[in-house]
Amino acid sequence: MDSILVTGGNPLNGEIPIAGAKNACLTLMPATLLSEEPLTLTNAPRLSDIRTMTRLLESLGAEVTALNEGRVLAMSSHGAISTRADYDIVRKMRASILVLGPLLARFGHAEVSLPGGCSIGARPVDLHLKAMEALGAEMDLRDGYVYAKAPTGGLKGGIVDFPLVSVGATENALLAAVLAKGTTVLKNAAREPEIVDLVQCLRKMGAQIEGEGSSEITIQGVDRLHGATHGVVTDRIELGTYMLAPAICGGEVTCLGGRIELLSAFCEKLDAAGISVTEGPRGLTVARKNGRVKAVDVVTEPFPGFPTDLQAQMMALMCTAEGTSVLEEKIFENRFMHAPELMRMGARIEVQGGHATVTGVERLRGAPVMATDLRASVSLILAGLAAEGETLVSRVYHLDRGYENVEQKLSALGARIERVKEA
């Protein structure tokens, strides 16, 4: 099992390329099941989660070819497609549930294993199932599988009123509704850029959708979709992560392809903390304004609020900020598991329920730490960049699910970081 060794103390300078969004790509890939014609995605990230989704689609009978060193995914579902997504693959990744909507919409039935995923809370799929029921599907949950059947003649348009904002459920509902008969209205829909990106892709395939980016999306079902080519949107979570790198250890870094509109609430918090963010034609340039970073309070919220997927990284920054900050996690429970690991490095953190109080210290100290989930793993790397001495981050298989070439990207900016192969 690999580890990441970080030796702190170096300021970071230069440019860093930001990949296509993992969460967007994982949502776009199942859209190939909606049509017999090819769907090609460009700007795809090269990550283990993308490889897992590839294996899932291939297990269903789709063809997926990685081109241009994995940056382009050429997909086709023109052959015989199975409507059963088996546990052995689905258990590895939560996003696997997103094949439910397309299979149900195009073929009228689906058997999809309940998914696995990371350990940051229950994250139930009930909102996905209720969305399918609102489109007329009969749902049966047994033996760890979702058995879904559309009414005779296919799914019917309907009103899907989400009691809670759910990105995944909004995506699954969109993927199902585009081939449903009649009009579907999604109320209290998620507004994330990944939702907008999915709609733009589906529209290229011939879908009729209005309202993306707002809390109400209207879909007029069509009889069939055609092929398309679509570029995956910039990964705003990778973007925010690397924006924090010069904030936490000094220097000036330009994140290529970044736009403030992807992370407006996050950028506001950086400004309040004393971090300059300048948007230019090539991306976002980030640097400390002057002196030590100031403590700021953070509350995670659905888009356009502060992203839960940047909470762990922001906590790492607050560990060395001047003053005391309070981070409130309102999206997922169990998402402060990185706090005890940061405390091993000298951070002063108190966790009570969904609140973490962080009192900044002058300097963190390198220590052996363990990653507990994807975002926690990169928060420990960021902390290591600012710490005295060496930090060894173990269990970085989490990291490889969401960040490609972390060591190479940070090394190019002047960081001392390397991957250590363990026996």
Q: pLDDT: is 405 or 211 the higher one?
A: 211
Average pLDDT of the residues in 95-121: 83
pLDDT digits (tens, 9 = 90+) for 51-91: 999 999 999 999 999 999 999 999 999 988 999 999 888 88
What is the H or E stretch that residue 101 is in?
Answer: helix 100-107
Q: Which pLDDT belongs to residue 119? A: 41
Least-confidence region, from 116-125, 197-206, 309-318: 116-125
Q: What is the pTM of this model?
A: 0.90
125 annotated among ligand-binding-site residues: yes
pLDDT of residue 146: 92
Q: What is the mean pLDDT of residues 226-234?
A: 97
182: which residues sit within 8 A by CB, 6+ positions away? 156, 157, 158, 220, 221
pLDDT of residue 270: 98
Q: What is the mean pLDDT of the segment spanning 167-172? A: 96
Q: Is 382 annotated as a binding residue?
A: no
Q: What is the mean pLDDT of residues 167-174?
A: 97
User: Binding residue per annotation — 126?
Assistant: yes
Q: Is the pLDDT of residue 143 over 80?
A: yes
Q: How far apart are the first and last CA of the chain?
A: 7
- Checking if the pLDDT of 121 tops 60, the result is no
Cis bond upstream, residue 151 (ω within 30): no
All domains of the chain, ordered by start, with CATH? Answer: 3-18+234-420 (3.65.10.10), 22-231 (3.65.10.10)
Give dist(CA 209, CA 202) in Å, integer: 8
- Ranking 120-124, 132-136, 208-212 by mean pLDDT, the lowest is 120-124
- Checking if the pLDDT of 202 tops 80, the result is yes
Catalytic positions, written as ranges: 118
Contact status, residue 49 vs residue 26, Cβ threshold 8 Å: yes
pLDDT bin (cut points 50, 70, 90) of residue 116 is low
Q: Quick check: 118 pLDDT over 70?
A: no
Q: How many C-beta neighbours within 10 Å does residue 153 have?
A: 9
Structure tokens at 118: 């990371």
* pLDDT-derived band at 375, boundaries 50, 70, 90: confident
Q: Can you tell me the mean pLDDT for 315-343?
A: 92
**DSSP labels, 179-246:** TSBSEEEEES----HHHHHHHHHHHHTT-EEE-TTSSEEEEE--S----EEEEPPB-HHHHHHHHHHH
Distance CA 116, CA 97 (A): 9
Q: Of 333, 419, 319, 328, give the one whose Cα is nearest residue 373.
A: 333
Task: Please compute the mean of the pLDDT values over residues 207-219 and round it to a whole number.
Answer: 98
Any idea of the CA torsion for 289, 290, 295, 298, to the nearest 10 degrees? 10
CB-side exposure of 388: number of CA atoms within 13 Å? 8
Q: Is 188 annotated as a binding residue?
A: no
Is 10 annotated in a binding site? The answer is no
Angstrom distances, CA of residue 143 to CA of 84, 87, 123, 147: 14, 11, 19, 10
For 9-61, write each residue's pLDDT tens digit: 999 999 999 999 999 999 999 999 999 999 999 999 999 899 999 999 999 99
Q: Are 387 and 8 in contact (CB under 8 A)?
A: yes
Is the pLDDT score of 190 beyond 80? yes
Q: What is the pLDDT of residue 423?
A: 58
Task: Tell me the β-bridge partners of 279.
Answer: 284
Mean residue pLDDT of the chain comes to 94
- pLDDT tops 70 at residue 120: no
